[in-house]
Chain A
């Protein structure tokens, strides 16, 4: 499988991971969206090499099993070549040492230089010195099956607890059935030494089925244990992500199209970090009953009170009856949502809350949560509705081209716009959990300001895309540029570095 370069990784969510597919979309390549990053405006922050700092840039690779195996073997080889192992220490022990340290090579090397014996004891390859001194009388029988055995037929780890091959084999079979592989311990009670892969191989050489399962489970243990590797969370997907720097950034599987955060494997969630999104999702699950009432799909027009169903992603609503322009979120006049003054995304806390009763504080806490939840959920719904917009656009483009109104290439900008809208709104959605957990203060004020700016520009963009045929192409492209810049500014200032 080929590499995914940094640019690929920094792309926004492609709408096709939402299940959109249309023949005309196939013509629409990822390259087009990369052009956004290449516009290279002068006022953007630049790094030492004069490149624009992209807060979402992330280097990662997609491995298949063979590539991952090779990657692991190379790490082991690197370790065994760098440190001077005593003769009895091998490739297979290198694996145990690395697995015990999340495969952080430098840590193993450092600990080896400090005290190699202690490292071997801590990694359960050698018994603790206090135990090693105990001289066991040579057993005449295997302590498990209690059959008389010749010395040469009894096998042990470094602890010298000897058991016969048959017992070892049955023991491995039971352990492997339970899904244990790299963690199989010595059979002796209280002995915590672990078996190496070579040992398992020698025991299981005559039971190919168990051996194959052992190897699968061991490989799985290594992938889960390695700080730079992750299984793709897609259903039945066997792709492995590798990131040199394991950060909470976006990765996308080329095979199953799953798109997630590398670190926690949940849906990508900048600017919120992994612990924040975990608490947020848990909270949402816990409070879903309370929050249920807000999932109603209709609201009344604040002016003429006619019932309105939201059928598009844009939050700038216009009542079809009285033509009143209002905001779907706060039901306020849209005029107050201009780019200079957009307050709808900011939660105003009761300044006197500390002196109120416990009940009032609880009510305030719920109110605060619902404020952020409503906005979070609303953007989620808008994303769904905008998928329909995307399909409508594709349909309209097809119609136009078939009627000789321009060529495919003339209309690509509309798809670009819809994709960009998706990417921006997705980020905006995740600014709400971030804001919920953010402490008050000047940084929160700045965040809320930028969030409000982004919100305003996204609604402008959405409004213009829904009315694309009346909107001038230059005007739309200008709006796209502004919106994406707002998004990047927010991420640059507030996502984890």
Chain B
């Protein structure tokens, strides 16, 4: 059996349920309170607008001393997100601070969708496209959003 859940995780979960962040929902798994099913709406005026992106978020044993593990489950055409859905975001790595929360992490991910950063790429081919022919890259991102993130 799992050790009892730290108060911090309980409080964060409560707040996420009662005061959800606009455009983001995070629901704890029924079996495992450290695992969250996350939906992020594509920000308006971004190529991802209109899409709903599924992510998984896991709080490791050391959380909040260690960052949560977050991954996109929905395919997305973005220079900082690779084929496996891994995300290149500083606060998920060396810039993690125990004072950050699930809420702040998800907000940062939403912001990353609004402002792709091809100069610090994870998916090199996508980043290259983004730099060489931005309008074409944006069209591809929109097409992928329609294809994978807009299920009826």
Contacts and interface: CB of A to CB of B under 8 A. Distances in A.
B91 A189 contact: yes
Interface stretch (B5-13, B21-29, B118-126, B133-141): B5-13
A223 interface: no
Interface string B106-138: 000000000000000000000000000000000
B98 A187 contact: yes
A241 B6 CA distance: 48
A143 B65 contact: no
Contact of A144 (B62, B64, B66, B104): B64
Interface stretch (A167-175, A425-433, A460-468): A167-175
A171 B98 contact: yes
A188 interface: yes
Interface in B15-55: none
Interface in A159-198: 161, 163, 167, 170-171, 173-174, 187-191
A143 B101 CA distance: 10
B54 to A, nearest CB: 26
**Interface residues of A, dominant DSSP:** loop
**B6, B62, B66, B98: most-surrounded residue (chain A CB, <10 A):** B98
Given A144-B64, A174-B62, A174-B66, A187 B7 contact: no
A145 interface: yes
Secondary structure at the B interface, as helix, strand, loop or mixed, is loop
B65 A188 contact: no
B65 A189 contact: no
B65 A190 contact: no
A281 B99 CA distance: 46
Nearest to B11: A146
Contacts of A174: 62, 65-66
B7 A145 contact: yes
B142 to A, nearest CB: 33
A188 B66 contact: no
Interface in A189-211: 189-191
A191 B65 CA distance: 15
Interface in A111-143: 143
Interface residues of B, number: 16
A403 interface: no
A147 interface: yes
A161 B62 CA distance: 21
Contacts of A145: 6-8
A144 B11 CA distance: 11
A232 B52 CA distance: 57
A143 B7 contact: no
A384 B64 CA distance: 57
Nearest to B97: A189
Contacts of B62: 170, 174
B100 interface: yes
B98 A144 contact: yes
A486 B97 CA distance: 61
A141 B68 CA distance: 22
A74 B62 CA distance: 39
Contacts of A189: 91, 95, 97, 99-100, 104
Contacts of B99: 143-144, 161, 163, 187-189
A146 B99 CA distance: 10
Contacts of A163: 98-99
Contacts of B8: 144-147
A190 B95 CA distance: 8
B99 to A, nearest CB: 5
B129 to A, nearest CB: 32
A170 B97 contact: no
Contact of A146 (B7, B65, B66, B104): B7
Interface in B63-104: 64-66, 91, 95, 97-100, 104
A146 B12 CA distance: 9
B65 A170 contact: yes
A147 B97 contact: no
Given A144-B64, A170-B65, A174-B62, A187 B11 contact: no
Contacts of A171: 65, 98
Nearest to A190: B97
B7 A147 contact: yes
8 contacts: A144-B98, A145-B6, A147-B7, A170-B62, A174-B65, A188-B97, A189-B97, A189-B104
Given A161-B99, A170-B62, A189-B99, 20 more contacts: A143-B99, A144-B64, A144-B98, A144-B99, A145-B6, A145-B7, A145-B8, A146-B11, A147-B7, A147-B8, A163-B99, A171-B98, A174-B66, A187-B98, A187-B99, A188-B97, A188-B99, A189-B91, A189-B95, A191-B97
